[in-house]
Amino acid sequence: MQNLWRWILGYADAPPPARAPARARPMSAPHGQAVSSPEATAAAHEAMSLAMLGDRFHRYVLGLPDYHASEPSQEERTILRRLQSTCAAFDVRSLPRLPTVLPQLLRSLKSDTVGGAQLAKLIGRDPVLVGEVMRVSRSIYYRTLHPIQSLQHAVVLLGQDGLRRVVTMHVMKPILHASAGMFGHVAGQRLWDHAERCAHACAYLGKGSSDPFEAYLAGIVCNTGTGAVVRVLDQEAPAELGPLTSHFLASCAQLAAQLSLRAAHHWNLPANVLNALEERTASGTPPESSLGRALLCADTLAMAQVLGEHALAAPDTDLSSAWPEFFTPAMIERCQQDLRRQFRDAEARAV
């Protein structure tokens, strides 16, 4: 496992039944919260919107209804202390192992002498990976005059960079699903939906300033710890706990960011990815690296995209002016448009 991500980059049992999710209501201002006056600054208004967006997304992942109490209950404080203690002792080695075909495949991807037929033969040993390769090769980014009919044709079309992305997705999807405990059938899929969109947005925003695959990788893995926190939360929180406050969910998100960083170190991810994930753990401190900035924005853009697809936020939510210190409004707007184009089919299925 130690050299897995160097290979990818080209250098050196069934889950318990899921809880039934509660349907979230459309986004609204918190109860008792004063409506911003016309004199309120645009920055404060934007921060409020982003905070609400993050809270709504985490409630969607957990299948929780809206709840606008601001102060955590004593029971929540007790559970949070237990969560902090449990997460501090969490063994990242308990994350799912790699499918057996992957190490050999990734070694082959590092070699310039391995042909499409050899790669197709290796990929053909894993039916799920075959499906992913065929699906991606038929997407709008690889559209050809003639339909893709064979695995070898798909492998040649994707090329080594495209295959590295597909393999990374193949690695991370079961990890996000398996980390979600009793929420597995709900939280796991929702976390994966976000991971796909976050990776796409991070690669888009990282153009010209970050390595494209490192940006994609950072987006894919940034919420790995969230699945682990969901599993721990399911073990520690009683079923009758009731609605959870925004403060509690935000604290859980911080724990998740720390676990994501630990998992990334365990997997020996590239230094730039580790740095971006470390910046993400510093709540309230703006990231300094170009990849950290792309990841910060991509994370929220992906949340907005997922919520919009499920009618839990306006599908055309405009975040173009949310991070003027990092990206121009035009850049963010183009990224949002690209996300909607790329995941249009998912939005249609959700309606």
Render pLDDT for 12-32 as a digit per residue (tens, 0 to 9): 433 333 333 333 333 433 333
**Alpha carbon distance 159, 61 (integer Å):** 34
CA dist., res. 220 & res. 207, Å (int): 16
Amino acid at 230: V
221-235 pLDDT, tens digit per residue, is 999 888 888 888 877
Q: Work out the pLDDT band at 97, boundaries 50, 70, 90.
A: low
Per-residue pLDDT band at 141 (split at 50, 70, 90): low
Phi first, then psi: give them for residue 73, nearest 5 degrees.
Answer: -75, 165
Q: Answer yes or no: is pLDDT of 292 > 90.
A: yes
Q: Where in the chain is the domain with CATH 1.10.3210?
A: 42-93+183-351
- Categorize the per-residue pLDDT at 335 as very low, low, confident or very high, splitting at 50, 70 and 90: very high
- Provide DSSP, 19-43: PPPPPPPPP-PPTTPPPPPTTS-HH
- In this structure, which amino acid lies at residue 249? L
pTM: 0.75
Phi, psi of 186 (to 5 degrees): -105, -65
Model confidence pLDDT, tens digit, residues 245-258: 999 999 999 999 99
Here the contacts of 73-80 (C-beta below 8 Å, separation 24 or greater) are 73/245, 75/241, 76/241, 76/244, 76/245, 76/247, 76/248, 79/233, 79/236, 79/237, 79/241, 79/248, 80/248, 80/251, 80/252
Residue scoring higher pLDDT (147 or 3): 147
Report which residue type is found at 149. Answer: Q
**Whole-angstrom distance, CA of residue 56 vs CA of residue 190:** 13
* CATH class entry, domain 42-93+183-351: mainly alpha
User: What is residue 94's predicted lDDT score, i.e. its pLDDT?
Assistant: 74
8 Å CB contact between 273 and 218: yes
Per-residue pLDDT band at 174 (split at 50, 70, 90): confident
Q: How confident is the model at residue 106 (pLDDT cuts 50, 70, 90)?
A: low
Least confident segment among 28-42, 50-64, 329-343? 28-42
Max mean pLDDT among 112-126, 139-153, 293-307 falls in 293-307
**Looking at residue 18, what DSSP letter applies?**
P
